[in-house]
Structure 1
Amino acid sequence: MRDEPAVRVVTDSTACLPDPADLVEVGVLDGLDAGPLVVPLHVVTSDGERCEGVDITPEDVADRISRGERLTTSQPATEEFTRAFRGLVAAGARSVVSVHLSSALSGTVDSAARAGQRAMLPVRVVDSRSAAMALGFAALEASRCAAAGCDADHVARRAQEVADSAGAWFLVDSLDHLRRGGRLSAPAAALGTALGVRPILGLVDGRVDLVQRVRTRKAAVARLVDLAVERAAQASRPALAVHHLGAPERAQEVAAELAERVGARPVVSPVSAVLGAHVGPGALAVVVVDRGAHVHDLEPGGPW
């Protein structure tokens, strides 16, 4: 295994990063063995605040919502980022690039920035203006640059470049979760449910917005796939992901169709518990980024 890079990349749990083995299988890990450090967000339940990836899973969230429980979420505290940055200092890092969920959706970027001001090393914070694997791919590509020995400015630019290339679209069974959580305006929610249509939502400039209305769920899923295929056709080196909450079979079907039409296998994973609390059970999402011509050839290493 290679030495730890001087620049380390940090992200948050809404990046929805799957197991490294899954990334190797679809060809997006490319020998990387020092992936991003993930700082978890929190889900606030009826029996206390839980740490994503530690004591609550996407499946738990889907089950709680299905039983009628209302969930809220919270960003990591500044102290959590401070501990993460100090741990990287102890491991030999000389600077950090911290890449996070859109600031229009969460205060996570602000928490990271405040911790960066107190850190014992330089910290560059990148607002991805996105979420899920749009954020995850950006963090992975930044980590690849860091592993190749690039400086923090280069690593931060690469994270922003990949995040800016992203397209992310999703379907939900109910808009109520997004509306209650303040992630979708009431007028947009009302428009989305008008006349019994199925709304296709997207991340537009970091915010959730209505992209299109379709008559049936089947047509909406088909349009979701078409949007991803169209964006992938514009990319020189596309990477794709399919996310779901409680709908693994549907996600695998979408991924198989995308693989056939695009020629690249998507990553398939549940949305994070925090994102799941806002989109609800039955959600289905597709993400496309352009990895472009920016390549660092890394010697194969072990899983990060």
Structure 2
Amino acid sequence: MALVTDSTAELGLERAAGLGVTVVPLQVVVGDESYQEGAPEVTPERIAEALRHKRPVSTSRAAPAHFAELYARLAEEGAGSILSVHVSSQVSGTFESAQAGARQAPVPVRCLDSRQIGPATGFATEAAAAVLADGGSLDDAYDAALARAAACRTLLYVDTLEYLRRGGRVSNAAALFGGALAVKPLLGVEDGLIVPVARVRTSVKAIARLQALAVEAAGEQRVEVFVAHLAATERAEAFAASLAEELGERLVGDVRCREIGAVLGAHVGPGMLATCIAPVLT
């Protein structure tokens, strides 16, 4: 069996390769030029710089034909079935493309809408990989990925909702939530959608509130944690260290802290700080 995800899962190529996961890159469009995520022309740093200078930046899903070709190649390489785990269909057409490609595949392909965004999709994919590595079935892997995605809590702070509004990832009404009186918005992912969670007056208070919400999401469970940022390395590292200290023995392994890829970065803007709390279910 083969396992596929997309680049918004933030697994990183090295980690994905170690898990036996094939990553489908989404597209980033800067000005009139389109690139696959991961291309040297569209590093997160370059995306942040383009956004600061108000250059047009947008993203697009991988085409159904790309998925069809990938599934056919995996079948040729010996896969008898494929599980394809993707970013929420509420914010991206990637899952739809995967489904269209699956209909042309020479082997059974089961596509999973994680109803999540970013690292939570990655945690779901890892759960599926663990099941397959233990000899589990495709259905078992699907169920494990779905359960892990549903258990994850994704929270994020953005300096402004303008980038999400431009890309249609939040409504104008939600954008007003963050724009009124220059408050700093905290957001979450619920049922695949980006939704407002809280409004805080300053960035310092917003990040403190973000940590409090993350600890609340963890509860008494053992959890894995991912901290992501765009052009905010020091802020992210300090936040990760503080969160790890507060979680204490509930934290499994180290907090994963990294800059997000260009596709997600194009929608959140410089200064974004996010965390994903992933309860360990087994």
Q: Does 1:17 align with 2:3?
A: no
Higher helix share: 2
Kindly indicate whether the alpha-carbon contact (under 8 Å) linking 2:91 and 2:169 is maintained by their aligned counterparts in 1.
Answer: yes
* Aligned residue number for residue 299 of structure 1: none
Q: Secondary structure at the match of 1:156?
A: helix
Kindly indicate whether the alpha-carbon contact (under 8 Å) linking 1:94 and 1:121 is maintained by their aligned counterparts in 2.
Answer: yes
**Deviation by residue 1:262-298 (Cα, 9 ceiling, x = unmatched):** 13221111122111000011111010111212xxxxx
**Deviation by residue 1:112-167 (Cα, 9 ceiling, x = unmatched):** 00111110111111100111110111101111111111111001111100000011
Q: Does 1:247 align with 2:232?
A: yes
Deviating runs (4+, > 4 A) in structure 1?
none
Find 2:197's aligned residue among 186, 192, 211.
211
Kindly indicate whether the alpha-carbon contact (under 8 Å) linking 1:16 and 1:270 is maintained by their aligned counterparts in 2.
Answer: no
**Deviation by residue 1:10-49 (Cα, 9 ceiling, x = unmatched):** 10000111364xx6xxxxx9xx943321101001111411
How far 1:186 sits from its partner (Å)? 0.6
Find 1:112's aligned residue among 98, 104, 109.
98
TM-score by length of 1: 0.88
Kindly indicate whether the alpha-carbon contact (under 8 Å) linking 1:35 and 1:140 is maintained by their aligned counterparts in 2.
Answer: no
How far 1:207 sits from its partner (Å)? 0.7
Q: Does 1:291 align with 2:266?
A: no
Separation in 1, partners of 2:235, 2:268: 16
Separation in 1, partners of 2:77, 2:197: 44
Aligned length: 277
Separation in 2, partners of 1:67, 1:35: 39
Q: Secondary structure at the match of 1:169?
A: strand
TM-score by length of 2: 0.94
Separation in 2, partners of 1:230, 1:19: 31
Find 2:153's aligned residue among 152, 156, 167.
167
Q: Which runs of 5 or more structure 2 residues have no equivalent in the other structure?
A: none
- Aligned in 2, Cα 1:98/1:234: closer, same or farther, shift over 3 Å? farther
- Aligned residues: CA RMSD: 1.5
Q: Does 1:42 align with 2:10?
A: no
Give the counterpart letter for 1:153 in structure 2: D
* Aligned residue number for residue 260 of structure 2: 271
Give the counterpart letter for 1:137 in structure 2: F
Give the counterpart letter for 1:245 in structure 2: L
Separation in 2, partners of 1:161, 1:291: 10
What percent of counterpart residues are identical? 42
Q: Which runs of 5 or more structure 1 residues have no equivalent in the other structure?
A: 1-6, 24-28, 294-304
Separation in 2, partners of 1:291, 1:89: 32
Find 2:246's aligned residue among 257, 261, 271.
261
* Aligned residue number for residue 226 of structure 1: 212
Q: Does 1:101 align with 2:87?
A: yes
What aligned pairs does 1:118-133 form with structure 2 within 5 A after superposition? 118-133=104-119
* Aligned residue number for residue 188 of structure 1: 174
Q: Secondary structure at the match of 2:228?
A: strand
- Aligned in 2, Cα 1:247/1:255: closer, same or farther, shift over 3 Å? same
**Relative contact order: is structure 1 or structure 2 higher (C-alpha 8 Å, sep ≥ 6)?**
1
* Aligned residue number for residue 270 of structure 2: 281
Q: Does 1:70 align with 2:56?
A: yes
How far 1:195 sits from its partner (Å)? 2.0
Separation in 1, partners of 2:224, 2:153: 11
* Aligned residue number for residue 37 of structure 2: 52
Give the counterpart letter for 2:157 in structure 1: L
* Aligned residue number for residue 150 of structure 1: 136
- Aligned in 2, Cα 1:234/1:129: closer, same or farther, shift over 3 Å? farther
Q: Secondary structure at the match of 2:235?
A: helix
